Amino acid sequence: MPPSADISDLVFADRYARPGEATRLDTYRRVATALARCEPAPDRARHAARFFDNFLAGAIGAGRIMANAGTGGDATMVNCFVQPAIDAAPGRPASVDAALARAVRTLRMGGGVGYDFTPVPPAGTGTGGVCAAIDRYDQACQALAASGRRRGAQMAVLACDHPDLPAFLRAKAGRRRWPTFNLSVALSDRFLRAVEHDASWDLRHACPPAPGALSPLAARDSDGCWRYTRLPARQLWEWITSAAWRDAEPGVLFIDTINALNPLRGSEWLAATNPCGEQPLPAYGSCVLGPIHVSRFVRHPFGVGGPAGFDFSALARRVRIQVRLLDNVLELTHWPLPEQAAEARAKRRIGVGLSGLADALLMLGLDYGEAPARACAARIARCIRDNAYLASAELAGERGAFPAFQPAAYLDAGACGLSRLPPAVRAAIARHGLRNSHLVSFAPTGSVSIAFFDNCSSGIEAVHAWQYSRRLRLGGGEPVSVRATNPAWRLWHRLHGDAAALPACFRRAAELPAAAHLAMQAALQPWVDAAISKTVPLGPASTAADVGTLFLQAWRQGVKGLTVFRPDPAMTAVLEPAPDPAGACAAARAAG
C-alpha cells in the first residue's frame, strides 16, 4: 500500500496479515482457531468462537500472538523474556559466549530479551567489562536484523553499585551506541536513602581488580565483595539523572519495590525486566501479553445520546476470556529454550493489559491530568485485576493450580497488596488456587494499538497529538512518513463537526505536568501485579535536577520503574506533530 493509505491498514498488512488474510477478521479466525487447539476436541469450536468474539470486542493477543499463532512456523508467541547475560558457574571463569548464543536463539524466534549485566565482571578484572559485553549482544542482534529477521529488542539492566556504572551511563550519549537496547539502572532503597541523606556510596563487585590495579579502597566488604570506588551518592545520582535528561536513558527500576511486591518473592529474585519494563522476570522468565482496548467499553461517548459511562460488566467478561486465551498460549507456543519452558510451566505468568486508556477518559469527559480521571482509571485497572484473578482461580479448578502456588503468598493479610481482592475472589483462590502466578501487566502496546485498535492511545499513555506524521519502516525498506490521527479526536469532530472547539479535557501528553503523568501511574500500580510501562515527557525547560526530583517522587509513591523523554530538535523524531486547529487551540490554552 502507498504511504497515503490508512496507518492502521499499513501496519496491519506489514506486520500481522499472513498470506491469504485480506482483513483483520481473517487474522482473528486464524488466531482464535489456533489458540483453541489445546481445548478438548468437543469444545474447540466453542472456545474458538469465544476467542474470536473477544477479538471483535477489543481483547486481543499481543503482537507475537497475532503474528505467529497458527502459522506453522517456529516463531514464539511470547513477547517478553529475561535471560542471564553471563555464565558464571562456580569454579569456572565467567563467560558471555554460551549466554549470548542462548540469547540469539530467543531473538531469532521473535522474543524481546532483558538481561541483568550486574554479574559481568567489571573492566580491569581481565575482561572487557559490562560495556564490552553489551557491545557483543548489540552486534549479534543487529546481525539478525541485517539477515532479514524482525528487528530485535533488548534491555540492559545494571545495579547501582556496579563499578562499570559510570561508563554504562556515558555509553549512549548522542544515542548512537547500542541501538537495539533500552537501558535501566536498578536502584536499591539503600542507595536512594544515601541520596536523600547525602551519604557516601561504594561501587563494588564480587570479582577483585586485576593484579596491580588495586585502588586504596580495594578491600573486601563483610559480604565478600571488593570495593572499587567510594563517592558521594549524590554525585552518582547526578550522573544517572543527567544521562536520563540528556539521552532519555537510562530508565530506573526500583528493585526493592519490585521484589517486595512480588507474590513469589520467597522463591525468586527479580533483577531485570523485558525490553519495555512492564514485566520484571527471573532468569529464563517470560510472559505472554494480551491488551484490551478499554475505550470500546465507553457508552455514549462525550455524552451524546445519554450520559457518558463505562461498562464495567462488559469489560469483566472480556477479561475472564482473555485469561483462558493467554493460558492456552503457554501450552501451544514454541519455546526458544527448554529453561524458558520449564520456568513458564512452573509459574504460568500471563499479562492482561489495556490500551486506549487516554481515549476512554476523553470520551468520558475526563482530563487525564486530574484526580477524577485517575479515579476512573484505577477503577478500570481494579476491574481487570479482580476478574483476572477470579478467572485464574476458576481455571485452576478446571486445569490445576500452577505448580509453584503457595496460598499464603496471595491470601495472607498484606500479602503483596493483594489483600484487597474481593471476598468472592479470595474464596475462589482458597478453594482452587491460581492457574497463573501473575496476571496483570500494562505494556505500551505499540503496533497492535495502531493495527487493531485504529491507532488509539498506547497503553496507559496520554495522547501524543491529535494528528501527526509518523515514520514507519514498512517491508524492511526505508522509513516513510504516514499521517496519523487520534480516534477520540476524530470521534469528537464526527459528532460535533470539524469546526467544533475541543473540550478542555483534550490535553496532549506534552501539555500535562510531569507530576500528573506520574500520578496516573501511581494510581494504577496497586492493581498491577507485574509492572507498568510509562514514559514521562519533559518540557524543553526541564533540567536534570527536575528528573531527579521526579525519580524520587516515583520511588516514594510506590511505582516500580519510570522513564523520561525530553524532545531533542537534533534527533529525527518518530512522531512529528502536524499543524492543525486543535493543536493551535491546545497550545493557546497552555500559554494562557
* Residue 83 CB burial class (10 angstroms; 0-12, 13-18, ≥19): buried
Q: Distance (Å, rounded) from C-alpha 37 to C-alpha 591?
A: 57
Cβ atoms within 10 A of the Cβ of 326, count? 27
The 3-state DSSP class for residue 566 equals coil
Single out the residue of 361, 572, 384, 374 nearest to residue 456, CA to CA: 361
Tell me the three cell numbers of residue 344: 513458564
DSSP-assigned beta bridge partners for residue 391:
none
Q: Distance (Å, rounded) from C-alpha 194 to C-alpha 182?
A: 26
The residue type found at 464 is H
Q: Confirm if 288 and 62 have CB atoms less than 8 A apart.
A: yes
In Å, how far are 101, 369, 462, 590 from 585, measured between CA atoms? 53, 18, 17, 9
The residue type found at 432 is H
CA 330 to chain centre: 19
Q: Confirm if 286 and 78 have CB atoms less than 8 A apart.
A: yes
Q: What are the strands, taking DSSP E only, across 215-256?
A: 226-232, 251-254
**Within the chain, what is the greatest distance between any pair of CA atoms?**
79
What H or E segment, with its residue span, contains residue 152? Answer: none
In Å, how far are 246, 517, 547 from 564, measured between CA atoms? 10, 10, 8
Locus of grid cell 484490551:
292
Catalytic pick among 80, 141, 160, 276: 276
Single out the residue of 353, 256, 304 nearest to residue 555, CA to CA: 256
Pairing type for strands 467-472 and 350-355 reads unpaired
Is 268 labeled as catalytic in the residue annotation?
Answer: no
Q: Determine the angle formed by the axes of helices 189-196 and 233-247, rounding to 10 degrees.
A: 100
CB burial string 263-298: b at 16+ within 10 A, e below = bbeeebebbbbbbbbbbbbbbbbbbbbbbbbbbbbb
The residue type found at 145 is A
CB within 8 A of 536, min separation 6: which ones?
Answer: 514, 517, 518, 550, 562, 563, 564, 565
Catalytic pick among 54, 182, 262, 274: 274
Is 225 labeled as catalytic in the residue annotation?
Answer: no
CA 525 to chain centre: 13
What phi and psi, each to the nearest 5 degrees, are found at residue 283?
Answer: -60, 130
Q: Distance (Å, rounded) from C-alpha 294 to C-alpha 356?
A: 6
Catalytic pick among 68, 160, 249, 278: 278
Q: Distance (Å, rounded) from C-alpha 233 to C-alpha 235?
A: 5
Q: Distance (Å, rounded) from C-alpha 493 to C-alpha 147?
A: 45
Q: What angle do CA 390, 394, 395 make, to 5 degrees?
A: 115
Q: Confirm if 243 and 250 have CB atoms less than 8 A apart.
A: yes
Is 182 labeled as catalytic in the residue annotation?
Answer: no
Walk across the sheet containing 350-355 and list its strands: 350-355, 286-293, 80-82, 112-116, 154-159, 181-187, 251-254, 561-565, 535-537
Indicate which residues carry an active-site annotation: 274, 276, 278
